[in-house]
Amino acid sequence: MDEDKKYWVGFNQAKGIGPARLRVLLEYFGDVKSAWYASPGELRQSGLGEKLAASIFQLRESIDLDRVWKNIEAQKISVLTWDDPGYPRRLLEIEHPPPVLYLRGDYSETDEWAVAIVGSRRVTAYGRQVTEEIAAFLAHNGITVISGLARGIDALAHQAALAAGGRTIGILGSGVDKLYPPENRGLAEQMMLQGAVMSDYSVGTPPDGPNFPPRNRIISGLALAVVVIEAGYKSGALITAEFGVEQGREVFAVPGNITAPQSKGTNKLIQDGAHLLAQPADILEVLELTQVAQHQSAQRILPGNELESRLYAMMELEPVHIDEISNQAHLPPDQVSSALTMMELKGLVRQIGGMKYVAVREIQSGYDVNEINADPPV
């Protein structure tokens, strides 16, 4: 798997190759390694223009992928691609999902229950109070908090989730080894213990203004909903909300003083149809997420036993029918079914239909939305 991943990393550094063009290459060549070693002529035949084909060939000649991969491993950075079973399922469903994700920390199946909290960098006392209350409420109810590690609302949301014992993930506009802003590096280190920092930018990419709006599609893409707290008319948080609408996510906005600049954007979102967020519980009600709290409670209350440990050790990430599990365990189907039901409640396994189960394991380790989603220019 790692052998193939270095070629994904290679294409991730190729200017002009985004999700759409990479899919064309995969469909034509069959796998990323074959595409990487293709000649300029073969690349042109696949549908790439002459200039882009030549650019990829030059990149291949100038880059040492083995060295790049060793650097990634040395920094304990995980790499997830479309081919990985641990690639975030919800993100994979959006239009043009990033082909490669770099990760420091861990992404868990439980992080599929996530809500994004975004807002102004210039936060008021009101915004601080509301952010902390919402993030803590979500964390207490087993919901992962997603944000962008920026100053202001983002950092407060991450901090409140951690303080409440919850999980939180920060999406960066730089490589995961280039934490920004500097004053949030300590916060990022804490997040790696109770979540992760994540980016689709190559390792070593410095923070740069144009990088931040595109990363917002990942913030919303990972989440079930986007909550906007204090945002002016030109706030980047509104870009995240727009991506959320494009991706079919629920959008919530916290109302504010009609004369305050920080409330202009949120009040406009409500006027345009976003959910007015009057209290944190509104989020769970709209998303029908009350069962997540029960799921997390069961996971804490009900300890494992020898049978569950035995079945879990047998399970893989690929679906297995309950009859096969029963045969391998040399146990009656009703006993296995009862154990699997309890394990599903704890979040150890997941039934995907047809009486088939899979193990749930952690994976370690003014802008135009359509323009941002498309392949970068050559």
pLDDT in tens, 333-372: 888 988 888 887 777 787 777 788 888 754 334 434 444 4
Q: Give the model's pLDDT for residue 222.
A: 97
- Contact, 232 vs 264, CB < 8 A? yes
Q: Is residue 377 part of a domain?
A: no
**Identity of residue 28:** Y
Residue 105 has φ and ψ, to the nearest 5°, of 120, -140
Taking the C-alpha atoms of residue 167 and residue 195, their distance in angstroms, rounded to an integer, is: 5
For residue 268, give the nearest of 292, 235, 293 by alpha carbon.
235
Enumerate residues 6+ apart whose C-beta is below 8 A from 64.
none
- Say whether both 255 and 300 belong to one domain: no
Q: Is residue 315 part of a domain?
A: yes
For residue 323, give the nearest of 348, 300, 354 by alpha carbon.
354
Q: Is residue 319 part of a domain?
A: yes
CATH code where residue 15 lies: 1.10.150.20
- Say whether both 319 and 192 belong to one domain: no
Residue 128 has φ and ψ, to the nearest 5°, of -60, -50
275 is in which domain, residue-wise?
105-288
- Say whether both 126 and 256 belong to one domain: yes
Cα angle 183, 185, 188 (rounded to 5 degrees) comes to: 130
- Say whether both 54 and 164 belong to one domain: no
- Say whether both 281 and 164 belong to one domain: yes
Q: Is 377's pLDDT higher than 60?
A: no
Residue 240 has φ and ψ, to the nearest 5°, of -60, -45
Taking the C-alpha atoms of residue 162 and residue 92, their distance in angstroms, rounded to an integer, is: 26
Place of tokens 């992928």: 65
- Say whether both 307 and 162 belong to one domain: no
Q: Is residue 331 part of a domain?
A: yes
pLDDT tens across 22-80, in order? 999 999 999 999 999 999 899 999 988 889 999 998 898 899 999 999 999 999 999 99
The number of distinct structural domains making up the chain is 3
**Identity of residue 299:** Q
Q: Give the model's pLDDT for residue 293.
A: 53
Residue 245 has φ and ψ, to the nearest 5°, of -60, -45
Distances (CA, A) of 198 to 203, 247, 319: 11, 19, 28
pLDDT tens across 142-155, in order? 999 999 999 999 99
Question: 301 pLDDT band (50/70/90 cuts)?
Answer: very low
Q: Is residue 327 part of a domain?
A: yes
Q: Give the model's pLDDT for residue 80.
A: 96
User: The whole model's pTM is what?
Assistant: 0.78
Residue 227 has φ and ψ, to the nearest 5°, of -110, 125
pLDDT tens across 209-252, in order? 999 999 999 999 999 999 999 998 888 899 999 999 999 999 99
1: part of which helix (H) or strand (E)? none
CATH code where residue 115 lies: 3.40.50.450
The total of other beta-carbon atoms located within 10 Å of residue 362's CB is 13
Q: Name the burial class of residue 2, with classes exposed (0-12), middle (13-18) and buried (19+) by CB atoms within 10 angstroms of its CB.
A: exposed
DSSP per residue, 171-233: E-SS-TTS-SSGGGHHHHHHHTTSEEEEESSPTTPPP-GGGHHHHHHHHHHT-SEEEEES--T
CA Rg, the chain, in Å? 22
- Say whether both 204 and 224 belong to one domain: yes
- Say whether both 56 and 117 belong to one domain: no
- Say whether both 183 and 299 belong to one domain: no
Q: Give the model's pLDDT for residue 85.
A: 87
Taking the C-alpha atoms of residue 260 and residue 65, their distance in angstroms, rounded to an integer, is: 51
- Say whether both 123 and 243 belong to one domain: yes
Taking the C-alpha atoms of residue 168 and residue 277, their distance in angstroms, rounded to an integer, is: 21
Q: Is residue 204 part of a domain?
A: yes
How is residue 296 written in tokens? 């997390």
Q: Give the model's pLDDT for residue 313.
A: 81
Between helix 306-314 and helix 322-329 the angle, nearest 10°, is 120
CATH code where residue 315 lies: 1.10.10.10
- Say whether both 283 and 144 belong to one domain: yes
Q: Is residue 281 part of a domain?
A: yes
Q: Is 299's pLDDT higher than 70?
A: no
Q: Is residue 24 part of a domain?
A: yes
Helical H runs in 222-263?
236-246
- Say whether both 318 and 279 belong to one domain: no
